[in-house]
């Protein structure tokens, strides 16, 4: 973790307790980043999963590697933010840079991928592309279209700030031509894709109107470039929709149609009340037709 994060910050993460309340506040570990039992293990799982995926891609042992527990794009070098404590994405990209000259980072979470952009703001070896809601005091308040990077990294930060209500159609009209041009000009050797599910319709915090199918179409589009792909999770605050979306996108990633009926498992209740992957998409279409 200290490949990116400050040593004192990592030490505090691994030894948190309520007695350190004042010190925790110095690292923004309060409010939306509270201390909880198992915090260190949670961060080890998120970071370790993404690093493991990066190693698989570096060794050529996979074309697509997935860590839905990752995608914690708000964490800074010595500060937690927005439910993110360790920036597994930055750690994964640093690992990929050991074998690849250019990495493209794409973020379709409803919130701006500020932590990742900030980490690579001054380098041309990582191009960050973020589609997100911007304005109206929406968190984190960064990611204006004029923010393009600094020094050697100038023009290697691309921001697509959006208003409320982005739909499948409007999102596709922006996503595909922007990505196509970047792939043509930048020619990345590997892509890291943050698939935050809070850009779905009905999210408790998000303001977009994407269906699971529209969300997954971005991943489907990236597959056609035949570039190694590291696929990560991120935000998502209507849990039943997150479960459906990422299950559907796992199928898209491996080129397999997942059966509509959810199989019996420990996570069966996340697919309530119909217990299939299609309920959310149907509800979304009904909402748009009203």
Catalytic sites, residue numbers: 74
Q: Extract the tokens encoding 254.
A: 């491996």
Strand partners, 247: none
User: Is the preceding peptide bond at 140 cis, omega within 30 degrees of 0?
Assistant: yes
Cα separation, 137 vs 230, whole angstroms:
31
Helix (H, G, I), strand (E, B) or coil at 167: strand
DSSP string for 45-99:
HHHHHHHHHHHHHHTTS-SEEEETT---TT-BTTB-BTTBSS-HHHHHHHHHTTT
Strand partners, 105: 128, 192
- Which distant-in-sequence residues (6+ apart) come within 8 Å of 191 by Cβ? 103, 104, 105, 106, 222, 225, 227, 228, 229, 230
b/e per residue 29-61 (b: at least 16 CB within 10 A):
beeebebeeebeebbeebbbbbbebbbbbbeee
Q: Extract the tokens encoding 174.
A: 């922006």
């Amino acid at each position: 973790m200290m490949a990116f994060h400050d040593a004192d910050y990592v030490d505090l993460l691994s030894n948190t307790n309520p007695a350190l309340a004042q010190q925790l506040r110095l690292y923004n570990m309060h409010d939306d980043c509270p201390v909880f039992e198992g915090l260190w293990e949670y961060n080890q799982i998120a970071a370790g999963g993404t690093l493991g995926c990066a190693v698989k891609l570096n060794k050529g042992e996979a074309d697509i590697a997935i860590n839905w527990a990752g995608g914690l794009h708000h964490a800074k070098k010595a500060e937690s933010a927005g439910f993110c404590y360790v920036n597994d994405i930055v750690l994964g990209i640093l690992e990929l840079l050991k074998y690849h000259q250019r990495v493209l980072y794409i973020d379709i979470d409803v919130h701006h991928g500020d932590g990742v952009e900030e980490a690579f703001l001054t380098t041309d070896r990582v191009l960050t592309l973020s589609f997100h809601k911007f304005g109206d005091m929406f968190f984190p308040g960064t990611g204006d279209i004029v923010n393009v990077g600094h020094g050697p990294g100038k023009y290697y930060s691309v921001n697509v700030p959006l208003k409320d209500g982005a739909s499948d159609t409007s999102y596709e009209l922006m996503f595909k031509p922007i990505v196509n041009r970047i792939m043509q000009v930048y020619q990345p050797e590997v892509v890291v894709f943050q698939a935050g599910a809070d850009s779905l319709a009905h999210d408790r915090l998000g303001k977009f109107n994407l269906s699971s199918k529209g969300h997954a179409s971005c991943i489907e589009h990236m597959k056609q470039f035949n570039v190694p792909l590291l696929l990560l999770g991120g935000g998502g605050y209507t849990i039943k929709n997150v479960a459906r979306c990422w299950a559907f996108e796992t199928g898209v990633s491996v080129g397999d149609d997942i059966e509509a009926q959810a199989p019996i498992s420990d996570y069966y209740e996340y697919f309530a009340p119909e217990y299939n992957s299609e309920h959310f998409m149907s509800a979304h279409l009904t909402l748009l037709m009203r």
